[in-house]
Amino acid sequence: MGQELTRRYTHVEAGLVENVVIRQTTDTDAYPSGWKYTLHLGTLEDLTLIRYDNAHEDTKGHEHHTAAGDTDVEFPGMEELLVEFWASADEYWDAIGGSPPRSY
């Protein structure tokens, strides 16, 4: 499976951890979107606050995980999904005065 790492970072601050891994892939059987990704914000106690992933895209599609549960979502494109994730995560970071290093 050919994968090119597009973006990867982990930021830990004030009890929260933001982890982003995005790879462009040529394995379109497993990842029809052409991307393999995990966009995660959670606590150091392993509580997922927000996570978007396509770990099982070929069978389950794209998923949005929160502490309240999981839902399937439409994939708007990688850039749009990353912007949506950052906007949602910023609500948590703003509440604690956190500042993850991002390139936007």
With contact defined as beta carbons under 8 Å apart, do 62 and 54 qualify? yes
Measured in degrees and rounded to the nearest 5, phi and psi for residue 80 equal -65, -40
pTM, whole model, 2 decimals? 0.91
Domain extents in the chain: 5-96
Residue by residue, pLDDT tens for the chain (104 residues) are 455 668 899 999 999 999 999 999 999 999 999 999 999 999 999 999 999 999 999 999 999 999 999 999 999 999 999 999 999 999 999 999 998 888 76
- Report the side by side order of strands in the sheet with 48-53: 3-13, 16-25, 35-43, 48-53, 62-66, 69-73
With contact defined as beta carbons under 8 Å apart, do 35 and 22 qualify? yes
